[in-house]
Amino acid sequence: MTGFFLLVACGLCAAQEGTRLELSLEQAQQYALDNNRTLSNAALDVQKSHATRWKAIASMLPQVNVQGDYSNFLGYKLNFGGMSIPMNPNGTASVTAAVALSGAQVVAIQTTKIAERMADLSQKQSEQQVRDQVKTLYYSALVMEETVKLLEENLGNMQQLYNYTEASVKAGIAEQTDADQLLVQLATMQTTISSSRRSLEMVYNSMLLQLGLDVSTEIVLTDTIDRLLNLQTAAELLTQDFDIENNYNWQLLNENVNLARKQVHSARWAYAPTLSAYYQYSAKTYFGKDEGMNMTPPDMIGASVSIPIFSSFSRLKAVKEAKFDYEKQLNTLADTEDALRVQHRQLCYNLKTAFETFNTQKQNIDVTQRVFNNISNKYEVGAASSLDLTNAGTNLISAQSSYVQALMELVNAQIALEELLNK
C-alpha cells in the first residue's frame, strides 16, 4: 500500500515537472523496490517456484485424457472360418483416468517446497541489496554535490586572488611567477571540479538504473547529509549481537543442506515399488452400415505394481552419491558459519576504524579550510607568498578528498554491517 501511494505521488510529480523526480532516501528505496528489474525477476522466480510445486503435486493426482479415432477399411471384409465379416467404417471415443503413486513423488513435492522457500529468501536478499545499493548511491551523490559546491567556492576565492595578483603584476608590485603559480592552482581546482562532476553524473546514472528510470529523468535529492548521517545509529550496530540464523546467506545455505538431505531420501525411494491404476471407458460407433466385428469393451479397469529387484548396484551408488553431496553441504555450511562470525568481527573493526578516520578527517578539513582562508587574507595584504597560498590550496583539495573518502568508508562500513545483521 505504501508503494502504491508512493508511485501515485511520484507519478503526479513527474506529470507536473516533466522528467523531474524529487525523492528522499526512503522514497528512492521504495521506488527501487517497486520498479527495479532485478527484483522483478526475483519475484518471477518466486511465482515460478509456486508453479513448479503445484506441478509436482499434480503428478500424484488423477490424469484424465480423452481420445477419439476414425477407421475406414475401404470395403474390406475379413474372412474368418469361412465367414465373411465386413469391416465397416467406425469411430471410437474413449476417456481414460489414471493415477500413479511413488515415494519419489512425495519427496519431489517436499523438494519443491524447499526450492520455494529458497526463491523467497533470494527475493528478500535481493530487496536488501537493492536498498543498500540505493542508499550508497544516494549518499555518494550528496557527498559529491557538497564536494563540488565547496570546490567551486574555493575556486571563486582563488580566482579573486589571481585577479588581484594579476593586477599587482601590471602595477609592478608583484612578480609574474606569483600569478603563474596561482594560475596553475586555478587549473588544478578546475580539473578537480570537472572530475567530481563527471563522477557525480556516473552516480546519478547508476541510480537511474537501480530505480528503473529512463535515462532522461532528472533526479532531485531532497535529503541532506546532516539529516541522514546518524552516527549514534551506526554506533549502536557495534553493540548488537550477531544472530547468524538471521543472515540471508546462512538461511540459503541451510536450505541447500535440507535440499541435499531430501535428495538422499529421493535416492532411497528408488528401492520402493510404484503403484498405478486406471479406468477407461470406450464407445464405438459404426457410420451408416451395420455393426461389424466389435472387440472394444466399453469399460475397463487395471492396476499394476512395479517392484525394483536388481539394478547392478546403480541405485546403491546413487544413494551413496547423494550422501556425499549432503556431507559436502554440511561442511560448506560449517565453513560459512565460521566465515560469517569472522566477517562480523572484521566489519565491526572496519566500522570502528571508519568512525575514527571520519572524525579525524572532519577536524582536518575544518582546520585546513581555516588555514586556507587565513593565508588568503594574509596574501592580500602581502604577509604570505604565492607559494604559501598554493600549498594551502593543495592541502585543502587533499583534505576535501580525504574527507569524502572517509565519509563514504563510514557509510559503506555501516551498510555492510547492517546487511550482515539483516537490519
- Give 310-347 pLDDT, tens digit per residue: 878 888 888 899 899 999 999 999 999 999 999 999 99
Same domain, residue pair 196 and 284: no
For the stretch 147-158, pLDDT in tens is: 888 888 888 878
377 found inside a domain = yes
Query: Is 364 part of a structural domain of the chain?
Result: yes
Measured between alpha carbons, how far is 364 from 421 in angstroms, rounded to an integer? 32
397 φ/ψ angles, rounded to the nearest 5 degrees:
-60, -45
CATH of the domain at 294: 2.20.200
Asked, for residue 42, whether it belongs to a domain, the answer is no
Q: If residue 97 lies in a helix (H) or strand (E), which one and from where to where?
A: strand 90-101
212: containing domain: 2-35+102-271+310-421
Instruction: State the average pLDDT over residues 99-116.
Output: 85
Domain count, the chain: 2
91 and 226 within one domain: no
In order of 72, 191, 248, 289, the CA distances from 284 in angstroms are 13, 90, 61, 13
Domain end among 307, 328, 353:
307
State phi, psi for 303 to the nearest 5 degrees.
-150, 150
Judge whether residue 80 has pLDDT over 80: no
- For residue 255, give the C-alpha cell: 536450505
Return the closest-CA partner of residue 392 out of 158, 180, 176, 198: 158
Residues 286 and 386 in one domain: no
Residues 233 and 300 in one domain: no
Residue range 43-78, pLDDT digits in tens:
888 888 888 888 888 888 888 899 999 888 787 777
Mean pLDDT of the chain: 85
Residues 267 and 277 grouped into a single domain: no
Residues 96, 166, single domain; the answer is no
| Domain assignment present for 58 | no
Instruction: Based on the fold, state whether residues 14 and 74 are members of the same structural domain.
Output: no
202 with 151, same domain? yes
State whether 172 and 207 are in the same domain: yes
Domain termination residue (choose one: 290, 307, 324): 307
Whether 162 is in a domain gets the answer: yes
**300 and 318 assigned to the same domain:** no
Residue 56, domain member (yes or no)? no
